[in-house]
Structure 1
Amino acid sequence: MKLIIKVLKTICIAIFTWFIIHSVYIIYDGLSDNGAQADVAVILGNKVNKDGTLSERLEKRLETGVELYQNHRIKRIIVSGGLGKEGFYEGSKMKEYLISKNIPDSVIIVDNKGDNTRLTVENTLKIQKKYHFKSLIVVSQYFHVTRTKKLFSNKGFKNVSSASPRYFEWRDFYSVLREFPAFYTQ
């Protein structure tokens, strides 16, 4: 019995250590921006409020995309999100915001079927066949970009960097916890 308890303790310590190392890595990776240029930015969607306004989290992602465009780091912007329970297509609302910030309509590509990260990646790669881009910058919250980059890499698209807004919420603690199993199951 003592051996079983010792083995279980060792396994628990190993999993906890793995979780800590993984979490530190995704935070570091998510907050890193190497300043690279790319053909497109892919801005992942998030909540649109019941009144049609953007959640602050989503607005900060879009502000990051605007900065990338204004600093000539990207040529096009893909906005990807699904139909939220509030009744708005995230991609369309994101495009409205970008246009209000003087981003030309001609450089914005809308994906309203990006209901989750995996679908955003798959849809972006379908869009890539039409627009022939060779590099992209993922824009999302810092805890989310490592998994998104991994999904692109798993699909054979390797030239991916990231940028994330410097926006933090208390719920980020939960989100970092959630990313651990999500990273290994997608």
Structure 2
Amino acid sequence: MKLLFRVALAALLAGAAWHCVWTARRGLHDTARPADALLILGNTVNPDGQPSDRLRARLDKGLALYRAGLAPKIVVSGGLGREGHYEGLAMGRYLVAQGVPRPAVIIDDLGKTTRASAQNFAVIARQRHFRSVIAVSQFYHLPRTAYLLHRAGNFRVYTAHADYFELRDAYSLLREFPAYYWARLSNEQ
């Protein structure tokens, strides 16, 4: 019984290590190309209503892609955070303050999870006839985001990672191992 447990544990650890390497390689390889829209996924908004450093890095990456002419619309998606602010609204305000015309920003304040953001984007895409999207988030988050976007709608998905790294990324990379497979195994659409 001990041997079986050790073999199973070794297999699980090897699988997790392989998945972390795969996620990092895929997430750090930007595939951004001209698309109908950018989708910037939410994250923490500080108690003062300003985007956290991590969220600002996502917004700045999306802003750079927008300014480079890769997409005419920016969808920002995030729910109500613990700090009492809607992420999407704070993200939209930040982009407009950086010079993005308000009509170019589409706010989704119901994207409380990655799955919800993907599903909400699919609805927006159908309404606005978007056929392609560039997803912007932290590198470790992009493979699961791309999978959920593919599953939610019939459009091409490109990715671009935020230029922000911190020690927490190691934990987040490990967390993506079960999160990615849970997303694939979940029958909920």
Instruction: Provide the TM-score with structure 1 as the length reference.
Output: 0.94
Aligned partner (choices 29, 51, 55) of residue 54 of structure 1: 51
How much does 1:136 deviate? 0.4
The answer on 1:108 being equivalent to 2:101 is no
Q: What is the aligned partner in structure 1 of residue 139 from structure 2?
A: 142
The answer on 1:182 being equivalent to 2:179 is yes
How much does 1:156 deviate? 4.2
Aligned to 1:152, the other structure's residue is in SS state: helix
Distance 1:155 1:81 in 2: 17
Distance 1:126 1:71 in 2: 26
How much does 1:5 deviate? 2.4
Q: Which has the larger radius of gyration?
A: 1
1:118-157 matched pairs, under 5 angstroms? 118-157=115-154
**Percent of pairs with identical residues:** 41
Q: What is the aligned partner in structure 2 of residue 171 from structure 1?
A: 168
- Between stretches 27-36 and 4-13, larger displacement belongs to 4-13
Aligned partner (choices 89, 94, 97) of residue 92 of structure 1: 89
Q: What is the aligned partner in structure 2 of residue 7 from structure 1?
A: 4
- Which structure 2 segments of 5+ residues have no match? 184-189
Distance 2:169 2:53 in 1: 14
How much does 1:46 deviate? 0.6
CA shift digits 1:46-95 (9 cap, x unpaired): 11111111100000000001001111111110000011121211111101
Distance 1:151 1:118 in 2: 6
Distance 1:35 1:104 in 2: 22
Distance 2:17 2:155 in 1: 26
CA contact (8 A) 2:118 2:149 kept: yes
How many residues matched?
183
What letter matches 2:73 in structure 1?
R
CA contact (8 A) 2:131 2:155 kept: no
Aligned partner (choices 20, 25, 45) of residue 22 of structure 2: 25
Instruction: Provide the TM-score with structure 2 as the length reference.
Output: 0.93
Distance 1:139 1:184 in 2: 21
